Amino acid sequence: MEIYEVLEELEEMVESGARIPMTGKILLDGDLILECLDRVRTMIPEEIRQARWVTRERERMLKEAQEEAERLINEAKRHIDLLAAESEVTKQAQARAQEIVNKAQQVAQELKSGATSYADEVLSRLEANLEKSLQTVREGRQELRQPSGKKAG
């Protein structure tokens, strides 16, 4: 029997009790009232124990939910930090890669410029040698064209 049922019994006793006319008072069986009060007293500790258990259980569940929420928040923060770090690493890697590409392009340009200068220098010497050779050929042909014994100059 629950405490509420005993309280309803008491209420019924009061409602069904004999009324004393003109006083508003009710006659009740004292032994029945005392018996109901004793049952209430014995039930109260059980009800309180159950209420405390329910309260502790609710608090435990709230604590677990709070801890889980904090764990999820911390996990999300770590994930965000990881993504931010990866993004930063990616940016740094891209910047470094661009530096390497720029340096390679600069080196290639310098090599090309150096090769062009070297080729121009070699061709210039070849041209000078060819001009000397051509001059020697012209002079030889000129000598061949002059009558024998006559030298120009």
Whether 145 maps to a domain, the answer reads: no
| Residue 66 scores a pLDDT above 90 | yes
Q: What is the rounded average pLDDT of the residues 49-77?
A: 90
pLDDT band, very low/low/confident/very high, at 149 (cuts 50, 70, 90): low
Domain with 78, as residue range(s), is 3-135
Whether 15 maps to a domain, the answer reads: yes
Can you give the pLDDT at residue 152?
55
Q: How many domains does the chain have?
A: 1
Whether 151 maps to a domain, the answer reads: no
Residue 29 three-state SS: coil
Whether 146 maps to a domain, the answer reads: no
Whether 147 maps to a domain, the answer reads: no
pLDDT band, very low/low/confident/very high, at 2 (cuts 50, 70, 90): confident
Can you give the pLDDT at residue 45?
77
CB atoms within 10 A of CB 33: 15
Can you give the pLDDT at residue 103?
93
pTM for the whole structure: 0.38
Dihedral angle, C-alpha 144, 150, 152, 153, nearest 10 °: 160
Longest dimension (CA), the chain: 181
